[in-house]
Amino acid sequence: MGFNEKLHAYIAARFYVRLVHTYGERGKAAFIYATQFYAEQRGRRMAMRAIQDSQPLTYETYRAYGEWENTKEMQAEGCANRSEVVSTDPVFEFHVTTCPWHEEFKSLGLEEAGLVYCAHLDNSIARGFNPYLVYEVPQTLHDCPFCIQKVSNQQGLAPGQKEQGSAFDPAKARPEPDRRRGFTYHCAHSYWSYARACVRIFGNGGRGIANEVLEDISSEWGSSYSNILSKYAAADFEMI
């Protein structure tokens, strides 16, 4: 099995456990900060690609410029992400009924970590893409039958702005492979976002937590995974 959605969730879960165990509420606050930091970088990468392609920073563009797709492993397990759009106007609302991140948090007995993670992830990606999009996640699979995600101000208009410009044009968008990132990259970005946040907030104590999480990954998934993640130590995840 390669890098996939469940390892991506595992990384976040282990940082949550290590941070909260060591620092209590301060650790939880640091976890939220790191999740937001990671997610906003993803959103900014999406926005930069859209701007390169002369696309407006609307929710339609946001959906088109997503960076990941379900892996074959999760499809084979039957837990690949599945969602249903229930409304498009004036609020775009969709419900997520199956999610590999939820499956991993649940299998680890860490639904609490999943609740915190999902409460701050998608709205932060949207904020990084365009802070004027209004993205809400009022409930998630971790404690409800399905996840609800809602987006208003779909045009991403700033206060007083009447129009953003041209509409999304699929013909101008780059081919999908140019926008997608594999889960090796996504897992490395996640790990190093949490690791860097830990060090910045807690210094050597945070560095120790980052090292412990890397050891957790090596123990649970294999040293080949932790070795690959280590190679991204100097990566600039803000670049496209």
What pTM did the predictor assign?
0.96
Domain count, the chain: 1
The verdict on residue 149 lying in a domain is yes
Write the CB contacts of 51 (distance below 8 Å, at least 6 apart in sequence). 57
Residue 123: which domain range? 5-160+180-230
On whether residue 168 sits in a domain, the answer given is no
What whole-number distance in Å separates Cα of residue 183 and Cα of residue 189? 9
Q: CA-to-CA distance for 107 and 89, rounded, in angstroms?
A: 36
DSSP output for 111-167: HHHHHHHHHHSHHHHHHHH-TTSEEEEEE-TTTSSSEEEEEESTT-PPTT----SSP
Q: Of all residues in the chain, what percent carry a pLDDT higher than 70?
A: 99
Q: What is residue 164's predicted lDDT score, i.e. its pLDDT?
A: 65
Q: Is 166 a domain residue?
A: no
The answer as to whether 165 is a domain residue is no
| Whole-number pLDDT of residue 175 | 84
pLDDT tens digits along 125-160: 999 999 999 999 999 999 999 999 999 999 999 988
3-state secondary structure of 56: coil
Question: What's the confidence (pLDDT) of residue 33?
Answer: 98
Q: What is the mean pLDDT of residues 82-87?
A: 97
pLDDT, position 165: 65
Residue 221 lies in a domain: yes
H-helix or E-strand containing 52? helix 25-52
Q: For residue 167, is it within any domain?
A: no
Is residue 171, in this structure, part of any structural domain at all?
Answer: no
Flag whether 57 is in a domain: yes
